[in-house]
Homo-oligomer: A and B are copies of this chain.
C-alpha cells in the first residue's frame, strides 16, 4: 500500500513534469494560433487604414499608397513572428532577457530615429487642424519664403518667387509667418535735402497719395503721409504708408515711387544723392 503511495507521489512528481511539458506544448500551439489571428487582424487593419486614407485630405498617390501598405504588412508579419518566436524560446527555456537587452538597444535606436518622423506627422496634423496655412498662401517658415505648393503628412513644399522649391519637414516648422491672411502694408520712404521746403513736399506727397488711391484698385486704405520719420545723412526722410490687398504692396510701392519722382521733377524738388560738406584746408600737412 505504501508502495502505491510512493508511486502516486512519484507519479505526481513525474506527472508534474509531464503536465509541465504537455502544458508547454499546448502553450506553444496556442501561441501559433494567436500569431496567425494577429497577422490577419493586422492585415485587415492596414487595409482599412489605407482605404480610409485614400479619402482623406492628405493625398498619397496610388503607387505610394500600395508601396506603404505592403511595407507595413511586412513589418507587421515579421514583428508578430519575432514576438511569437521569442515567446516560444522562453517556453523552451532559452534566456530571453539577454536577447531582449540586445533587441532593446536596437529598438531604442530605431525608436529615436523614427521619433522625428512621428513628430513630423504630428506637426503636420496640428498645422492642418489649426489652419496655420493652406495651399496657395504665401508664407515664411524658418527663413524660407514661398507659396505653399503642398502640405503633406510629413513635409511642406514652398515655391519661391525665384522658382526654387523648398521642402521642409513639418517637424521643423515652429514659427510661421503667413502673408496672405490679412491686408499688406505698402511703405515708401522719400528723402529730400535739408534745403528743400518740407511743407511743400508734404503737400505734393499728399496730392500724389490721393491720386494713387483713386487709380489703384488693390489699395484698401489710402496712402497716408506720416510725416518726418528721420533727420538723416541725406536729408529729411518722409514716410508714406498704405494698406493694400494681400501681396499687392510691391505694385503700389512702385506706382507711388514713379509718381513721386515725376511730381518732384515737375516741382523742382531734388531727391538727393549722398551729400557731403567739404572743408578744404590747404594744409602743408
Contact = CB atoms under 8 A, between A and B. Distances in A.
A73 interface: no
A83 B100 CA distance: 10
A285 B195 CA distance: 8
A243 B159 CA distance: 14
A274 B277 contact: yes
Contacts of A109: 111-112, 114-115, 118
A266 interface: no
Given A114-B122, A273-B285, A279-B276, A179 B163 contact: yes
A17 to B, nearest CB: 7
A106 interface: yes
Interface residues of A, number: 133
A142 interface: yes
Given A2-B5, A285-B195, A177 B166 contact: yes
A17 B17 contact: no
Given A105-B107, A163-B185, A277 B272 contact: yes
Interface in A231-251: 231, 233-236, 243, 246, 249-251
Interface in A56-87: 64, 67, 79, 82-83, 86-87
Contact of A277 (B111, B163, B275): B275
B95 A90 contact: yes
Contact of A281 (B82, B229, B230, B279): B279
Contacts of A10: 8, 12
B89 A34 contact: yes
A15 B14 CA distance: 11
A67 B12 CA distance: 56
Contact of A8 (B9, B178, B246): B9
A270 B257 contact: no
Contact of A273 (B172, B174, B279): B279
Interface string A167-197: 1110010111111011111010011001100
14 contacts: A1-B2, A30-B94, A82-B98, A87-B95, A96-B98, A102-B107, A105-B107, A114-B122, A162-B185, A164-B179, A165-B177, A194-B271, A227-B258, A228-B254
Closest 9 CB pairs of A and B: A87-B95, A105-B111, A227-B254, A279-B283, A228-B257, A163-B184, A109-B115, A275-B277, A273-B275
